[in-house]
């Protein structure tokens, strides 16, 4: 398949399977579960084109294998002809199930012919168990969007998922989503209570400082984001810094790169430092003004998305540096670490030259809910398997609470990115209420409130998520 056509077809099949899951959860009495599971296996088999044997079993992973198109492509076309209309076009959930059930028998027969032929062709490449795992098991991919202090609800949502035994297999984050995602990616056995205790003990000086004078990798801002406390915790026992390659769960941080050709034309306030002689009232006014400037950067002609951790060449970046760069809100937060790291600086200098960017900014202005970036990572082989469920978390959208209304223009602009991301996620969790986006260092009471909001709102997605992630196996009809 040509790349563009292949991607469209894979996305169709992804949407069709999720459509089936929704219909069955609404009316489980209309279709035996064994038929539902067989239809899911059929859709998964139709989506085969490349995978790394062993990856879906979470065991040793071997190099990618391209499956035989002579076997899979005719089967894929048959599945699309039979199931595309009921699962993609049919509005009635009852009719989706009825029409899908009506074509199950011929699809079963086609699968019973295609599956052994594929196994015979690839007998030296992968086992039956590896094939069935790739077809029937989904990795959980979590995409955590930006939004400043509003994003602390993600901690509660992550705790709720882990209470159900669910842990991400791949994390992609922007801004506050990159920060929380980095902690979650550190270990599959992360102690959420310990994370909350650490966060509550943070002081202003452990995260922020006065603006840095001198060369940096990010735009100037009202405050310096140095993340001293995060640098201390993101260390190995011997005191060496933890780098992106050291995280247990595959993780990527999205940053924005300001294109060189437009940098000199940005508003002056975005390129100059704030004088240190300002009253708190003046500072609050400037903070509000500069938050409203974000719309200047939400433009692909101004800022391009870059992904730290996607390729091996960027995985040497310190974890805290990747987070700081992703959270550097233009003209508000300037990231400059407590101490520079030679390897990180070398990698960032290379990225700036290769991608023709002047400086880095908050990843949220480039892709605030970076679902497409995550999907492309999976399809590009980041985690080996190509069978995944994409869970998107969004905390930065228009809300009617008084503390959010002044940000309405910015959140509206940021939401204009969402339609381009919509084809790539399976579930979008839009959190409301949240803390204010400018509440960057909440009080212990605010942390507890955000945790509870995240935990409670995650309840809505648990039934769908668990059913979509439930493994299905080959069964002879």
* For range 278-302, the mean pLDDT: 65
Helices 93-102 & 104-121, crossing angle to 10 degrees? 60
Is the omega angle on the peptide bond into residue 433 within 30 degrees of 0, that is, cis? yes
| Number of C-beta neighbours around residue 303 at 10 A | 25
pLDDT band at 378 (very low <50, low <70, confident <90, very high): very high
User: Which pLDDT does position 47 carry in this prediction?
Assistant: 98
User: Which pLDDT does position 281 carry in this prediction?
Assistant: 52
Taking only the tens place, the pLDDT of each residue in 311-344 is 999 999 999 999 999 999 888 889 999 999 999 9
User: Which pLDDT does position 298 carry in this prediction?
Assistant: 75
Among 167-171, 284-288, 364-368, 414-418, name the most confident range.
Answer: 167-171
Alpha carbon distance 295, 304 (integer Å): 14
The per-residue b/e assignment along 34-53, b for 16 or more CB within 10 angstroms, e otherwise, is: ebbbbbbbbbbbbbbbebbb
Category of 239 on φ-ψ map: left (φ > 0), alpha (ψ -120 to 50) or beta? left
Beta bridge partners of 253: 173, 308
Alpha carbon distance 121, 127 (integer Å): 11
Confidence check: pLDDT of 265 > 60: yes
User: Which pLDDT does position 274 carry in this prediction?
Assistant: 45
Taking only the tens place, the pLDDT of each residue in 24-80 is 999 999 999 999 999 999 999 999 999 999 999 988 999 999 999 999 999 999 999
User: Which pLDDT does position 296 carry in this prediction?
Assistant: 73
Percentage of the chain beyond pLDDT 70 is 90
* For range 153-164, the mean pLDDT: 96
Confidence check: pLDDT of 217 > 70: yes
Query: Is 175 among the catalytic positions?
Result: yes
Q: Which residues, including other chains, have CB under 8 Å from residue 188's CB and lie 6 or more apart? A: 167, 248, 249
Confidence check: pLDDT of 1 > 60: no
User: Which pLDDT does position 210 carry in this prediction?
Assistant: 86
Least confident range of 117-121, 147-151, 320-324:
147-151
What are the extents of the domains in the chain?
1-137, 139-467
Pairing type for strands 139-144 and 388-394 reads: parallel
Hey, which CATH number is domain 139-467, 3.40.190, 1.10.1660, 3.40.50, 3.40.1090? 3.40.1090
Of the candidates 100, 168, 175, 436, the residue annotated as catalytic is: 175
279 exposed, middle or buried (CB, 10 Å; 0-12, 13-18, 19+)?
A: exposed
Of the candidates 169, 321, 341, 362, the residue annotated as catalytic is: 362
Q: Would you say 210 and 275 are in contact if contact means Cβ atoms under 8 Å apart?
A: no
* For range 208-237, the mean pLDDT: 90
Taking only the tens place, the pLDDT of each residue in 267-282 is 665 556 544 445 455 5
Please tell me which residue, 298 or 256, carries the higher pLDDT value. Answer: 256
Query: Is 362 among the catalytic positions?
Result: yes
pLDDT band at 405 (very low <50, low <70, confident <90, very high): low
Nearest to 118 by CA among 57, 53, 58: 53
Confidence check: pLDDT of 154 > 50: yes
Q: Would you say 443 and 199 are in contact if contact means Cβ atoms under 8 Å apart?
A: no
Average pLDDT of the chain?
Answer: 91
User: Which pLDDT does position 5 carry in this prediction?
Assistant: 85
User: Which pLDDT does position 72 carry in this prediction?
Assistant: 98
* 326 token code pair: 């992703």
């Amino acid at each position: 398949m040509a790349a563009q056509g292949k991607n469209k077809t894979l996305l169709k099949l992804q949407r069709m399977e999720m459509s089936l899951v929704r219909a069955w959860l609404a009316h489980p009495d209309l279709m035996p579960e064994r038929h539902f599971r067989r239809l899911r296996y059929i859709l998964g088999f139709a989506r085969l084109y490349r995978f790394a044997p062993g990856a879906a079993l979470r065991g040793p992973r071997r190099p990618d294998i391209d499956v035989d198109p002579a076997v899979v492509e005719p089967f894929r076309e048959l599945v699309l002809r039979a199931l595309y209309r009921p699962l993609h076009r049919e509005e009635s959930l009852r009719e989706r199930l009825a029409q899908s059930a009506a074509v199950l028998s011929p699809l079963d027969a086609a699968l019973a012919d295609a599956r052994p032929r594929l196994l015979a062709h690839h007998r030296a490449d992968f086992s039956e168990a590896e094939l069935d795992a790739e077809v029937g098991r989904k990795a959980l991919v979590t995409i955590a969007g930006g939004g400043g202090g509003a994003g602390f609800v993600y901690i509660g949502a992550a705790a709720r998922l882990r209470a159900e035994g669910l842990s991400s297999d791949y994390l992609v984050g922007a801004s506050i989503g990159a920060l929380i995602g980095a902690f979650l990616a550190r270990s599959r056995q992360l102690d959420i209570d310990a994370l909350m205790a650490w966060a509550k003990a943070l002081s202003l000086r452990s995260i922020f400082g006065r603006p840095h004078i001198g060369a940096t990798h990010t735009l100037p801002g009202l405050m310096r984001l140095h993340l001293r406390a995060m640098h201390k915790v993101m260390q190995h026992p011997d005191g060496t810094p933890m780098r992106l390659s050291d995280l247990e769960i595959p993780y990527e941080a999205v940053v924005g790169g300001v294109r060189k050709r437009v940098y000199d034309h940005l508003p002056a306030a975005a390129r100059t430092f704030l004088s240190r002689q300002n009253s708190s009232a003046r500072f609050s006014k400037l903070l509000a003004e500069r938050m409203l400037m974000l719309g200047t950067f939400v433009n692909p002609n101004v800022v391009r998305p870059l992904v730290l951790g996607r390729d091996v060449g960027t995985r040497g970046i310190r974890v805290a540096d990747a987070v700081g760069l992703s959270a550097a809100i233009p003209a508000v937060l300037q990231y400059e670490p407590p101490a520079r790291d030679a390897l990180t600086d070398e990698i960032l200098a290379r990225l700036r030259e290769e991608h023709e960017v002047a400086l880095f900014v908050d990843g949220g202005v480039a892709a605030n809910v970076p679902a497409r970036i995550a999907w492309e990572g999976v399809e590009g082989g980041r985690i080996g398997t190509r069978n995944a469920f994409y869970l998107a978390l969004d905390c930065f959208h228009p809300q009617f609470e008084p503390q959010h209304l002044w940000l309405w223009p910015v959140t509206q602009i940021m939401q204009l990115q969402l339609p381009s991301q919509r084809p790539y996620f399976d579930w979008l969790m839009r959190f409301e209420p949240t803390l204010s986006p400018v509440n960057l260092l909440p009080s212990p009471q605010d942390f507890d409130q955000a945790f509870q909001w995240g935990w409670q709102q995650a309840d809505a997605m648990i039934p769908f998520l668990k059913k979509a992630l439930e493994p299905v196996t080959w069964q002879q009809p």
